[in-house]
Amino acid sequence: MKISKSFKIYIHIILVFLVSQSLNSTEDFSKNIVIHEKPLIIKELKFKDFNLQDVDLTNKKGNIMIINFWASWCLPCRQEHVLLTQLSKEKNLKLLGVNFKDKKKQAEMFLNELGNPYDFLTKDELGKSSVKFGVYGIPESILVNKDLMILKKFVGPLSTEDYDSIVEIIN
Amino acid sequence: MKFKLLMIILLLNFSLVNGEEKKVDQNTIHKNLRCLVCQGQSIADSNSDFAQTIKLVVKDLIKDGKTESEIYAFMADKYGDWIVFKPQVNKQNFILWFLPYLALVLGGVIIFFLFKRRRN
């Protein structure tokens, strides 16, 4: 069978394309970590507290912070709570908890039972504030630097690998 | 008299058309936003928690006077271009938008030359 010259060139182009694609692929094996291509900066940290009063935590920047979205009805949140409690012992890190679509009484029971690792505790009753942070669901944690620039975003419960990477960044 | 009446009708028509342009349709926006936690569903089709929240935010943004494209830009800023079914043309995706047209033109040119060669 005779193969035309143009067809051979075409096959070569396709092969070069496929090889370059596989060489350039930067697949991250930690599937739950989202790293933004261009740095995203959070402009403000405006929430409501547990008594539904407005709180502006933007002036609390200056610390590396984890913004953790959680709820008492969320089972994976229980799972990651141990790691959050451990992280709360780190001196260079502040924890901001955002209670997501939850009832006040149940959220308080959750914290009484498992402990409160958060330096700041806020509430997102309808989930609207979480959209500003690009949250898909809970649990989700966002690691921000002193200028509120997003360093990493952890979708799903924090794992021990995530814990190690956070500790590495803050120290 | 007829002329005045015609002018009034034209003016009314013009303001109505302008009014229509400014109106932001919530359903259209819901249909053009992807439910990121569902399989192939739009925000309009889904009853998931994520979709419900996005619907509330879209409602607020419309109330704040944001235009349709501003709402898409806001969502794309928060969740990436993937959330919009029909993403706006930008530096990253312009090849995707124009490649089919380019392929069409190139295909036409190739066919033209093939026919020309056969004739000769």
**Residues near A111 by beta carbon (within 8 Å), at least 6 away in sequence:** none
Query: Could you tell me if B81 and B101 lie in one domain?
Result: no
Query: Could you tell me if B82 and B108 lie in one domain?
Result: no
Choose the closest CB to A136 out of B50, B56, B57. Answer: B50
**Residues near B70 by beta carbon (within 8 Å), at least 6 away in sequence:** B61
- Please provide residue A58's backbone torsions phi and psi, each rounded to the nearest 5 degrees: -60, -35
B-interface mutation test, from A36, A46, A131, most B Cβ less than 10 A away = A131
- The CATH number covering residue B17 comes to 1.10.8.640
Alpha-carbon distance of A82 to A71, in angstroms, equals 15
Query: Could you tell me if B76 and B100 lie in one domain?
Result: no
Query: Could you tell me if B97 and B56 lie in one domain?
Result: no
Query: Could you tell me if B16 and B75 lie in one domain?
Result: yes
In a domain, A24, yes or no: no
Query: Could you tell me if B116 and B57 lie in one domain?
Result: no
pTM of the model: 0.71
Domain tally for chain B?
A: 2
In a domain, A57, yes or no: yes
The DSSP string of B64-98 is TT--HHHHHHHHHHHH-GGGBSSPPP-TTTHHHHH
Query: Could you tell me if B114 and B55 lie in one domain?
Result: no
Provide the CA B105 distance to its chain's centre, in angstroms: 25
Q: Which residues of B touch A137 (CB under 8 A)?
A: 37, 49-50
In a domain, A118, yes or no: yes
Query: Could you tell me if B62 and B80 lie in one domain?
Result: yes
Q: Which residues of B touch A130 (CB under 8 A)?
A: 53
Query: Could you tell me if B34 and B76 lie in one domain?
Result: yes
pLDDT tens-digit profile of B38-82?
Answer: 998 999 999 999 999 999 999 999 999 999 999 999 999 889 888
What is the domain range of residue A61?
A: 29-170
Query: Could you tell me if B30 and B75 lie in one domain?
Result: yes
> What DSSP state is assigned to residue A49?
-
Alpha-carbon distance of A40 to A34, in angstroms, equals 12
Query: Could you tell me if B8 and B63 lie in one domain?
Result: yes
What is the domain range of residue B94?
A: 90-120
A131·B49 Cβ contact <8 A? no
Domain tally for chain A?
A: 1
Chain B, residues 80-119, CB within 8 A of chain A, namely: none
pLDDT by 10s per residue, chain A, length 171: 566 777 788 888 888 888 877 776 554 444 555 555 566 888 889 999 988 889 898 888 888 999 999 999 999 999 999 999 999 999 889 999 999 999 999 999 999 999 999 999 999 999 999 999 999 889 999 999 998 999 999 999 999 999 999 999 888
In a domain, A5, yes or no: no
- The CATH number covering residue A51 comes to 3.40.30.10
Asked if the C-beta of B57 comes within 8 angstroms of chain A's C-beta atoms, the answer is: yes
Q: Give the minimum alpha-carbon distance from B37 to chain A in angstroms, rounded to a whole number.
A: 7
Beta bridge partners of A70: A99
In a domain, A20, yes or no: no
